[in-house]
């Protein structure tokens, strides 16, 4: 039993689309909770219905069946204004207002709180400033958003959601087009929010690597639309995770949590030596379709660490070759491929 | 001007020559080359109209229509083959056709063609007409109701089948531009089409003179001549009467549409009417024979103290005018109640005889106008087309 | 307001006053400038004709120009924000098509319709205004019904365009069966006219436009939210259906009233929001709104001065001037600011 109260409860929830002629369910009979202060990652393959689910939980798209309970109250019983003070969103939608300055966009987050003229009180200003600082965009405050990089823009969207000051932040693939450094800084920001502000964060993402390290809980949607909730490590150890990424071309190694591409291995060799060098040498050998075996082969490779660099000694029946780079190892091996 | 041969015409011709010098304008004739025929013919006298010519030969008549639409440089030649004569060997080219006389059935495209038929007593020859509801003349309306005049649909898209079934001897049409495709289509089916350019004449008598054009189809040239002489002499006698008035009341005309007030230019026949009726038309000094497009305020500036406002589109009362635009009331003519309109002869179907019979009877229009401006000189005349608005 | 905005705003106010004076002073009738000024400060100039021209023609026209420019500018702004589409303008919902249809029926079917309206006690100049309003209202009703049923604002755009085509086709058919004079009368209506309003009509025109502009300003907050899209707006507590409805109503009141009184006036509604956005480099409606009002009034006064062909007796149709003048202005601005598309997309 958790001590933390549930901020979102899903009871037999079915989400999807309703048109005048028919009803198209996308995900069905979901029963899961989001707890206060939790960070949850929603994972699943493209098109399976993550965005639909998020929009339904955010209250901007009606569900088909079942209930969404926010802070103990059915979402349909909320007035939109009330709800907007509880939940804020970060989406992948395009924005058509390139002329807006960063602080103007962030200020929009105060929409639920301001009067009809949109005037900002000192309290509003404080929240906006806090949101800007915590999102690390203070130095671009005056810039129009069409001059921002993707990473900066994403932070601005998050700042806006923060300024809205709800207990729950829902994000749809916030790191989708970002490069690695930007991805990391955004995920770190979110993790910090979750740890220090007590906000609950629900995030749809494809960043499995980071998600599994940072999320308190994973909501996983499998191929057959089965919905599973669990602590990341449990999902690993009970092999649920593997079901997510089942693919012929990929192997998953549970012991180290690594994916390895399934190369069609053709030739065999023996390998031993320094563990770090061996680890990466295997990576290169596999890519070039050489497998490593304990049985006797004609090609033997020994990886040696000499002070701060590495050397490889290739031995065959005929000769020994010393390489200082893996690139040379690969090139040399090409000669032996006919054996 | 070539003198005619008919004895009757000779008497009127000399005094006419004097007047012609003052009032007639010559239009650009276009092709000046003369056809050379084996016969010799008499050109009939035309004094005011500039867009048609008629030469009568022994076995045929040559009817020419000049510049039948605005900006046209073309001349159309129609050979009217007299009855009981051998068919002439004249070849017809692109802008000419042959017609066999007498014409027993005719289709006209405009209501302005109809008064001539009525005056020449040939109204029974009209067998079809586009949009018969436009006709004002009581005589023709009776015939329409009796089914003697076939309805042919809107004039810009005539019902061909009906027209073909009617098979008239000739169609009298008009064109506003160089697109003659519909006319050609009718001709291809074997029905001759004659272009009428009366609407482009700039002098009031010029329009009326087209009775002579219409008469050619029915061999009634002398009748037409007589009728026109009467109209002409009545017009001129009124004009003469008013030439020497000492006071010419000032006059303006028209109404504003949107931001534009359409005002006849100084050489437009509207202006000629006013001047001939003894008034001072405020735009008479203008050199254009087209309709001017003026701003409301420039009309106001010139005409705010004018004595008369004549011709106000479809308004029936001063109240209607005021409701249409309050600014009309700031003109002195309105304030004094000196507003007249040509709505005395409206037909119940929405037609106005002024735009039908009026074109054939400029003498009546002139008398109406003269009576407005100088009632003391026109006590014998009763208003026909015009009435005062209250 | 920051300093730069304040400077530009002050310049606009001065420009507006200058153009207003110029507009009143210039026309086909020559009135010496100092006489105009003398009259405007309330003194007699001893020339009834000129006084009448100023009071009855020039001043009402100038007021009309200001209201038309602001009204069309704001309705264009509303449409561009609602649909997040730079090509939108006051007439995308088919309002002017509806008005044109009403007027076409009145003019082209001739006297019978006019007589019918006369029975209702509406005479003269009001016939066209009422017919236009009726047509616009009809289209508006259908648009509102549809907008209440659909989730996506884009569908409304398509419906508006379809209305435009349909009514255009009907008007063509009506013209086909009409007399030349009626066709010309209708054609003249389509040229647009700022000078047709007397003080009688202004008694209704001024309050309607003024109040609608004021009302529209009160939802500039929601307009800003709409910039982010329907999803974000909903999540911030904006009632999309209700907001869409009041935007449509405000636009229709502005565009419909203006078209009913002045005929369809092209181009201004689309161009002014862009010009303002580019001049002020902002998307914030709290700033855009008043700036559009000023820019619209200024441009319209300017176009009207040109249309009056000062010194000549004839005038140009206002539609011709707004299009021929407006297009190069927008092109120049767009070329100068190479990132035009960026001001519209993020």
Q: Is residue A235 part of a domain?
A: yes
* CB count in 10 Å sphere of residue C310: 15
Mean pLDDT is lowest, of B87-96, B117-126, C318-327, for: B87-96
Share above pLDDT 70 across residues of chain B, in percent, rounded to a whole number: 88
Residue A1 is predicted with a pLDDT of: 43
Residue C250 is predicted with a pLDDT of: 93
The partner residues of B150 in beta bridges, in order of sequence, read B128
Q: Which residue of B has its CA nearest to C192?
A: B258
Instruction: Supply B142's token pair.
Output: 């009776």
Residue B18 is predicted with a pLDDT of: 58
Q: How many domains does one find in chain B?
A: 2
DSSP alpha helix (H) spans, C218-239: 220-226, 230-235
Q: Looking at the structure, tell me whether residues B34 and B130 fall in a common domain.
A: yes
* CA-wise closest residue to C192 among C246, C122, C300, C266: C266
Q: Looking at the structure, tell me whether residues A300 and A219 fall in a common domain.
A: no
Q: Looking at the structure, tell me whether residues A71 and A124 fall in a common domain.
A: no
Residues of C in Cβ contact (< 8 Å) with B298? 28-29, 313
Domain containing A281 equals: 267-338
- pLDDT (tens digit per residue) in A104-148: 999 999 999 998 888 899 999 999 999 999 888 999 998 888 888
Residue C338 is predicted with a pLDDT of: 58
The whole-angstrom distance between C211's CA and the closest CA on chain A is 17
Per-residue pLDDT averaged across B22-44, rounded? Answer: 57
Q: Is residue A182 part of a domain?
A: no
Q: Which fold has domain C3-344?
A: ABC transporter involved in vitamin B12 uptake, BtuC (1.10.3470)
Q: Looking at the structure, tell me whether residues B53 and B155 fall in a common domain.
A: yes
- pLDDT (tens digit per residue) in A12-60: 888 888 877 888 888 888 899 988 888 999 998 888 889 999 999 998 8
The whole-angstrom distance between A309's CA and the closest CA on chain C is 48
- pLDDT (tens digit per residue) in C71-107: 999 999 999 998 888 888 898 888 888 888 888 888 8
Per-residue pLDDT averaged across B184-192, rounded? Answer: 90
Q: Is residue B1 part of a domain?
A: no
Instruction: Supply C327's token pair.
Output: 């297009």
Q: Looking at the structure, tell me whether residues B131 and B263 fall in a common domain.
A: no
Q: Count contacts between B and C (CB, < 8 Å).
A: 94
Q: Looking at the structure, tell me whether residues B209 and B316 fall in a common domain.
A: no
Mean pLDDT is lowest, of A213-222, B5-14, C103-112, for: B5-14
C52 has a chain B CB within 8 A of its CB: yes
Q: Looking at the structure, tell me whether residues A139 and A126 fall in a common domain.
A: yes
A62 has a chain C CB within 8 A of its CB: no
The whole-angstrom distance between B314's CA and the closest CA on chain C is 10
Residues of chain A with pLDDT under 70: 1-4, 338-339
Per-residue pLDDT averaged across C115-130, rounded? Answer: 63
C346 has a chain A CB within 8 A of its CB: yes
The whole-chain average pLDDT of chain C stands at 86
Q: Looking at the structure, tell me whether residues B273 and B366 fall in a common domain.
A: yes
Mean pLDDT is lowest, of A225-239, A243-257, B77-91, C34-48, for: A243-257
Q: Looking at the structure, tell me whether residues A95 and A161 fall in a common domain.
A: yes
ipTM: 0.84
Q: What is the DSSP string of A230-266?
A: E-HHHHHHTTHHHHHT--TTEEEETTTTEEEE-----
Q: Looking at the structure, tell me whether residues A286 and A235 fall in a common domain.
A: no
Q: For residue B23, is pLDDT > 50?
A: no
Q: What is the DSSP string of A53-69?
A: HHHHHHTSS--SEEEEE
| CB-based contact B291:B363 (threshold 8 Å) | no
Q: How many domains does one find in chain A?
A: 3
Q: For residue B31, is pLDDT > 60?
A: no
Q: Is residue A58 part of a domain?
A: yes
Q: Which residue of B has its CA nearest to C128?
A: B324
Q: Is residue B299 part of a domain?
A: yes
Mean pLDDT is lowest, of B302-311, B336-345, C132-141, for: C132-141
C57 has a chain B CB within 8 A of its CB: yes
**Residue carrying structure tokens 């780079």:** A325
B300 has a chain C CB within 8 A of its CB: yes
Residue B28 is predicted with a pLDDT of: 37
Edge-to-edge strands of the sheet including B308-310? B280-281, B250-253, B308-310, B339-341, B387-388
A91 has a chain C CB within 8 A of its CB: yes
Q: Looking at the structure, tell me whether residues A13 and A155 fall in a common domain.
A: no
* CB count in 10 Å sphere of residue A22: 7
Query: CATH no. for residue A325?
Result: 3.30.160
Q: Looking at the structure, tell me whether residues B72 and B216 fall in a common domain.
A: yes
Q: Looking at the structure, tell me whether residues B208 and B267 fall in a common domain.
A: no
A251-265, C34-48, C120-134, range with greatest mean pLDDT: C34-48
How far, in Å, CA of C230 to CA of C235, rounded? Answer: 9
Residues of C in Cβ contact (< 8 Å) with A91? 229, 231-232
Instruction: Supply A301's token pair.
Output: 């490779």
Q: Looking at the structure, tell me whether residues B121 and B264 fall in a common domain.
A: no
Per-residue pLDDT averaged across B352-365, rounded? Answer: 94
Residue C148 is predicted with a pLDDT of: 79
Q: Looking at the structure, tell me whether residues B66 and B142 fall in a common domain.
A: yes
Instruction: Supply B289's token pair.
Output: 């024979």
Mean pLDDT is lowest, of B224-238, C121-135, C217-231, for: C121-135
How open is the CA angle B335-B339-B341, to the nearest 5 degrees?
Answer: 160
C110 has a chain B CB within 8 A of its CB: yes
The whole-chain average pLDDT of chain A stands at 87
End-of-domain residue from the set B231, B254, B280: B231
- pLDDT (tens digit per residue) in C301-312: 999 999 988 777
Q: For residue B217, is pLDDT > 90?
A: yes
Q: Is residue B238 part of a domain?
A: no
- pLDDT (tens digit per residue) in C229-250: 889 999 999 998 889 889 989 9
Domain containing B302 equals: 245-388
**Would you place residue C122 in the very low, low, confident or very high pLDDT band (cuts 50, 70, 90)?**
low
End-of-domain residue from the set B231, B265, B280: B231
Q: Is residue A175 part of a domain?
A: no
Q: Looking at the structure, tell me whether residues A77 and A209 fall in a common domain.
A: yes
Residue B5 is predicted with a pLDDT of: 44
Per-residue pLDDT averaged across B203-214, rounded? Answer: 95
The whole-angstrom distance between A290's CA and the closest CA on chain C is 48
Q: Which of residues 148-177 of B touch C (CB under 8 A)?
A: 154, 156-157, 176
Q: For residue B27, is pLDDT > 50?
A: no
Long-range Cβ pairs for the range C305-309 (8 Å, 24+): C305/C19, C305/C22, C305/C23, C305/C26, C307/B259, C307/C194, C308/B295, C308/C26, C308/C27, C308/C28, C309/C28
Query: CATH no. for residue B343?
Result: 3.40.50.1980
How far, in Å, CA of B277 to CA of C297, rounded? Answer: 48
**Would you place residue B21 in the very low, low, confident or very high pLDDT band (cuts 50, 70, 90)?**
low
Residues of C in Cβ contact (< 8 Å) with A153? 346
Chain-centroid distance of CA B170 in Å reads: 20
Residue C340 is predicted with a pLDDT of: 57
The partner residues of B62 in beta bridges, in order of sequence, read B55, B79
End-of-domain residue from the set B177, B200, B231: B231
* CA-wise closest residue to C272 among C91, C96, C72: C72
Q: Looking at the structure, tell me whether residues B273 and B335 fall in a common domain.
A: yes
């Amino acid at each position: 039993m958790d001590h933390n109260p549930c901020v979102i409860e899903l009871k037999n929830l079915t989400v999807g689309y309703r048109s005048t002629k028919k009803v198209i369910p996308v995900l069905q009979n979901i029963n899961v909770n989001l707890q206060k202060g939790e960070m949850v990652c929603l994972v699943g393959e493209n098109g399976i219905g993550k965005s639909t689910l998020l929009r339904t939980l955010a209250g901007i798209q009606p569900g088909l069946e079942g209930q969404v309970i926010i802070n103990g109250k059915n979402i349909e019983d909320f007035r939109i204004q009330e709800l907007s003070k509880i939940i804020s969103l970060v989406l992948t939608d395009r924005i058509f207002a390139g002329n807006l300055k960063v602080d103007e966009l962030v200020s929009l987050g105060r929409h639920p709180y301001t009067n009809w003229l949109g005037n900002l009180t000192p309290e509003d200003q404080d929240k906006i400033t806090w949101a800007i600082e915590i999102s690390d965009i203070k130095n671009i405050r005056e810039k129009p958003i069409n001059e921002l990089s993707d990473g900066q823009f994403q932070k601005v969207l998050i700042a806006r959601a923060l300024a809205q000051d709800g207990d729950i932040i829902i994000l749809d693939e916030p790191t989708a087009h970002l490069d690695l450094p930007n991805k990391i800084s955004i995920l770190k920001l979110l993790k910090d929010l979750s740890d220090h502000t007590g906000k609950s964060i629900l995030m749809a993402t494809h960043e499995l690597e980071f998600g599994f390290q940072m999320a308190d809980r994973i909501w996983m949607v499998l191929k057959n639309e089965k919905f599973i909730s669990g602590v990341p490590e449990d999902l690993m150890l009970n092999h649920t995770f593997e079901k997510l990424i089942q693919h012929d071309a990929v192997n998953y190694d549970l012991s180290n949590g690594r994916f390895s591409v399934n190369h069609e291995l053709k030739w065999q060799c023996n390998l031993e030596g320094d563990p770090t060098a061996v680890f990466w040498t295997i990576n290169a050998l596999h890519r070039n379709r050489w497998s490593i075996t304990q049985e006797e082969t004609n090609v033997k490779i020994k990886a040696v660490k000499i002070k701060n660099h590495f050397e490889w000694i290739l031995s065959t029946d005929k000769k020994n070759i010393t390489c200082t780079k893996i690139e040379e190892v690969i090139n040399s091996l090409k000669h032996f491929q006919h054996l | 001007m070539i003198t005619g041969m008919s004895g009757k015409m000779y008497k009127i011709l000399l005094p006419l020559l004097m007047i012609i010098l003052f009032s007639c304008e010559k239009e650009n004739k276009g092709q000046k080359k003369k056809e050379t025929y084996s016969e010799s013919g008499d050109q009939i006298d035309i004094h005011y109209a500039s867009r048609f010519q008629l030469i009568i030969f022994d076995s045929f008549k040559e009817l020419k229509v000049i510049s039948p639409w605005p900006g046209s440089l073309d001349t159309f030649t129609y050979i009217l083959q007299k009855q009981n004569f051998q068919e002439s060997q004249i070849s017809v080219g692109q802008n000419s056709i042959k017609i066999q006389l007498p014409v027993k059935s005719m289709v006209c495209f405009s209501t302005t063609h109809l008064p001539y038929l009525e005056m020449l007593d040939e109204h029974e020859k009209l067998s079809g007409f586009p949009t018969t509801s436009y006709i004002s003349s009581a005589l023709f309306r009776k015939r329409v109701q009796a089914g003697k005049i076939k309805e042919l649909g809107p004039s810009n898209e005539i019902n061909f089948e009906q027209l073909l079934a009617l098979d008239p001897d000739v169609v009298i049409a008009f064109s506003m531009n160089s697109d003659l495709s519909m006319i050609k289509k009718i001709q291809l089916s074997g029905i001759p089409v004659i272009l009428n350019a009366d609407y482009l004449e700039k002098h009031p008598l010029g329009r009326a003179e087209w009775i002579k054009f219409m008469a050619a189809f029915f061999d009634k040239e002398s009748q037409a001549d007589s009728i026109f002489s009467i109209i002409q002499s009545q017009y001129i006698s009124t004009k003469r009467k008013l030439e020497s008035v000492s006071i010419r009341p000032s006059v303006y005309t028209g109404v504003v549409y949107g931001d534009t007030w359409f005002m006849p230019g100084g050489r437009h026949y509207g202006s000629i009417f006013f001047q001939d009726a003894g008034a001072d038309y405020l735009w008479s000094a203008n050199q254009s024979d087209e309709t001017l497009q003026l701003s409301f305020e420039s009309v106001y500036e010139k005409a705010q103290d004018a004595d008369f406002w004549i011709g106000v589109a479809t308004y029936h009362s001063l109240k209607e005018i005021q409701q249409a635009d309050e600014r009309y009331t700031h003109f002195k003519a309105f304030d004094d109640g000196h507003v007249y309109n040509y709505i005395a002869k409206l037909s119940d179907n929405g037609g106005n005889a002024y735009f039908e019979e009026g074109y054939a009877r400029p003498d009546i229009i002139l008398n109406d106008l003269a009576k407005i401006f100088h009632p003391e000189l026109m006590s014998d005349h009763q208003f026909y087309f015009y009435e005062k608005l209250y | 307001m920051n300093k730069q905005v304040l400077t530009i705003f002050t310049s606009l106010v001065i420009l507006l006053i200058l153009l207003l004076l110029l507009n009143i002073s210039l026309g086909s009738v020559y009135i010496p400038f100092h006489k105009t000024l003398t009259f405007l400060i309330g003194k007699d100039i001893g020339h009834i004709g000129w006084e009448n021209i100023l009071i009855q023609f020039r001043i009402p026209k100038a007021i009309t120009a200001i209201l038309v420019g602001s009204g069309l500018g704001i309705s264009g702004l509303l449409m561009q924000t609602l649909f997040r589409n730079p090509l939108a303008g006051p007439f995308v919902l088919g309002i002017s098509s509806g008005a044109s249809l009403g007027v076409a029926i009145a003019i082209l079917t001739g006297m019978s319709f006019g007589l019918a309206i006369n029975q209702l006690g509406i005479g003269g100049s009001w016939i066209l205004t009422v017919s236009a309003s009726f047509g616009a209202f009809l289209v508006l009703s259908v648009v509102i019904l549809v907008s209440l049923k659909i989730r996506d604002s884009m569908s409304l755009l398509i419906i508006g365009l379809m209305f435009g085509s349909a009514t255009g086709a009907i008007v063509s058919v009506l013209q086909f069966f009409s007399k030349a004079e009626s066709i010309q009368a209708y054609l003249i209506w389509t040229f647009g006219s700022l000078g047709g309003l007397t003080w009688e009509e202004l008694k209704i025109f001024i309050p309607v436009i003024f109040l609608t502009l004021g009302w529209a300003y009160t939802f500039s907050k929601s307009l800003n939210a709409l910039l982010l899209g329907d999803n974000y707006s909903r999540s911030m507590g904006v009632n999309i259906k209700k907001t869409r409805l009041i935007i449509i109503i405000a636009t229709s009141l502005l565009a419909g009233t203006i078209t009913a009184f002045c005929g369809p006036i092209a181009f201004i509604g689309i161009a002014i929001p862009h010009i303002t956005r580019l001049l002020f480099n902002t998307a914030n409606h709290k700033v855009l709104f008043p700036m559009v009002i000023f820019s619209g009034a200024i441009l319209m006064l300017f176009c009207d001065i040109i249309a009056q062909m000062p010194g000549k007796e004839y005038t140009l149709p206002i539609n011709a001037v707004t299009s021929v003048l407006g297009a190069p202005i927008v092109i120049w601005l767009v070329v100068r600011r190479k990132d035009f598309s960026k001001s519209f997309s993020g």
